[in-house]
């Protein structure tokens, strides 16, 4: 089975070709960072217009790198949710057109599930495990029982983790993407310079949920209230302290879930999975089996889409050409402890 994956949920125009769900024949990621950098964030209309310009050249390049022709493809996997609607429609419509023209099956892929599936492409992972998805648009904790069985136990109730990084970076003009800029600058700062409060959301069903709006407000508007004596409010100190607080908030909920569900295998996915502090802190827990994707598979890519799509196609799942794209995260089964 040779599957073409298509990913255009945000600002990456990506395609990849996988053989039998594991062997990567080619992968192309056309980044729009230079398009959106002047705005310190992704501009949806610019993203969709750029996808329109790039989608065909990326398709031609991914075929050329794989050394195959369109006739060699046996399936199409295209992201259709969640994300920026205009951007999603470009890639998903292209995938539908290819499916029709080549007379091969199409399967729609959920971007969230694809991120959590990404590490499976590089190694065999046993189920069940706790899935930690941390990206620019989504942050959630889930019990993953199979590649298509995901039970959400916690999420952010406002900004996603990566979104909070971007907004803090934008305010202090640190650069875009914010997560990369803050992570790099944090190595020059003191993570103990500021002590930001942990939001109290543990009442009722919020034991594993997290809010980043309060942290973002503290860093941007109330910085001096949380500065530890003897520490200077340098940009490096702000970056280091913010990063530590943002990741520690998340890990506190993750470690609570580990104890409550007695699951000691953790799989991490999403762009923030590349964060050095997150990787270092989780890897220090020798009592846990922690699995990260390679850096290439952390940020948005089409390898993960083709991989998950291959699983779905292998099970006989097909998506009709009448299907469309959806901006919002689908309703997942939610469980509580």
Condensed to tens digits (0 to 9), the pLDDT of residues 223-236 reads 999 999 999 999 99
Residue % of the chain over a pLDDT of 90: 89
Q: Mean per-residue pLDDT for 97-119? A: 97
pLDDT at 329: 81
Return the residue matching tokens 């508007």: 221
Of 47-56, 198-207, 241-250, 316-325, the poorest mean pLDDT is in: 198-207
Q: What is the pLDDT of residue 200?
A: 67
Residues 248-252, mean pLDDT to the nearest whole number: 95
- For the cut 90, the answer to whether the pLDDT of residue 336 exceeds it is no
Tell whether the model's pLDDT for residue 337 goes beyond 70. Answer: no
Instruction: Kindly indicate the confidence band of residue 203, based on its pLDDT and cuts at 50, 70 and 90.
Output: low
| 324 CB-contact burial (10 Å; exposed 0-12 / middle 13-18 / buried 19+) | middle
C-alpha distances out from residue 122 to 15, 110, 137, 174, 176, Å: 18, 19, 24, 33, 28
Return the higher-pLDDT residue of 92 and 202. Answer: 92
Domains and CATH numbers, the chain: 2-115+299-334 (3.30.420.40), 126-297 (3.30.420.40)
pLDDT band (50, 70, 90) for residue 36: very high
Residue 197's pLDDT band, with cuts at 50, 70 and 90, is confident
User: Which is nearest to 245 in space by CA: 293, 209, 277?
Assistant: 277
pLDDT at 146: 93
In angstroms, rounded to a whole number, what is the distance separating the alpha carbons of residues 296 and 93?
25
CA distance 61 to 321: 25
Distance, in Å, from the CA atom of 148 to the CA atom of 163, rounded to the nearest integer, reads 26
Question: Between 136 and 46, where is the model more confident?
Answer: 46
Q: What is the mean pLDDT of residues 87-99?
A: 98
Contact between 162 and 134 (Cβ < 8 Å): yes
Among the residues of the chain, which ranges form H helices? 33-36, 44-66, 85-102, 111-122, 161-171, 178-186, 213-221, 235-261, 276-283, 303-314
Segment 47-76 shows an average pLDDT of: 98
Q: Following DSSP, what letter does each residue of 274-297 receive, concatenated?
A: G-HHHHHHHHT-TTSEEE---GGG
Q: Do residues 193 and 240 touch, judged by C-beta distance below 8 A?
A: yes
Residue 331: what pLDDT? 73
Phi and psi based region of residue 83 (left: phi greater than 0; alpha: psi -120 to 50; beta: remaining): left
Cα–Cα distance, 35 to 42 (Å, whole number): 8
């Amino acid at each position: 089975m040779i599957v073409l994956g298509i990913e255009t949920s945000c600002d990456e125009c990506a395609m990849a070709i996988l053989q039998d769900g594991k062997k990567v024949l080619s992968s192309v990621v056309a980044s729009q960072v230079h398009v959106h950098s002047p705005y310190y964030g992704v501009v949806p209309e610019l993203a969709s217009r750029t996808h329109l310009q790039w989608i065909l050249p990326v398709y031609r390049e991914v075929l050329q790198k794989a050394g195959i022709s369109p006739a060699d493809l046996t399936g199409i996997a295209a992201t259709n949710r969640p994300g920026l609607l205009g951007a999603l429609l470009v890639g998903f419509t292209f995938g539908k057109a290819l499916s029709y023209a080549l007379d091969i099956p199409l399967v729609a892929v959920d971007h969230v599930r694809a991120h959590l599936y990404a590490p499976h492409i590089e190694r065999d992972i046993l189920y069940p495990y706790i899935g930690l998805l941390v990206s620019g648009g989504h942050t959630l904790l889930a019990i993953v029982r199979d590649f298509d069985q995901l039970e959400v136990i916690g999420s952010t109730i406002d900004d996603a983790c990566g979104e909070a990084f971007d907004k803090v970076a934008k305010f202090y003009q640190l650069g875009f993407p914010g997560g990369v800029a803050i992570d790099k600058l944090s190595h020059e700062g003191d993570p103990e310079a500021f002590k930001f409060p942990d939001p109290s959301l543990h009442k009722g069903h919020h034991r594993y949920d997290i809010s980043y709006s309060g942290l973002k407000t503290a860093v941007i508007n109330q910085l001096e209230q949380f500065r530890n004596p003897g520490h200077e409010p340098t940009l490096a100190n702000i970056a280091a302290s913010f990063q530590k607080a943002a990741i520690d908030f998340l890990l506190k909920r993750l470690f609570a879930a580990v104890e409550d569900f007695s699951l000691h295998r953790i799989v991490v996915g999403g762009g923030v999975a590349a964060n050095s502090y997150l990787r270092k802190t989780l890897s220090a827990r020798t009592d846990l089996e922690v699995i990260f994707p390679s850096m290439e598979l952390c940020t948005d890519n089409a390898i993960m889409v083709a991989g998950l799509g291959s699983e779905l196609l292998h099970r006989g799942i097909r998506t009709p050409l009448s299907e469309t794209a959806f901006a919002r995260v689908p309703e997942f089964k939610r469980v509580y402890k």
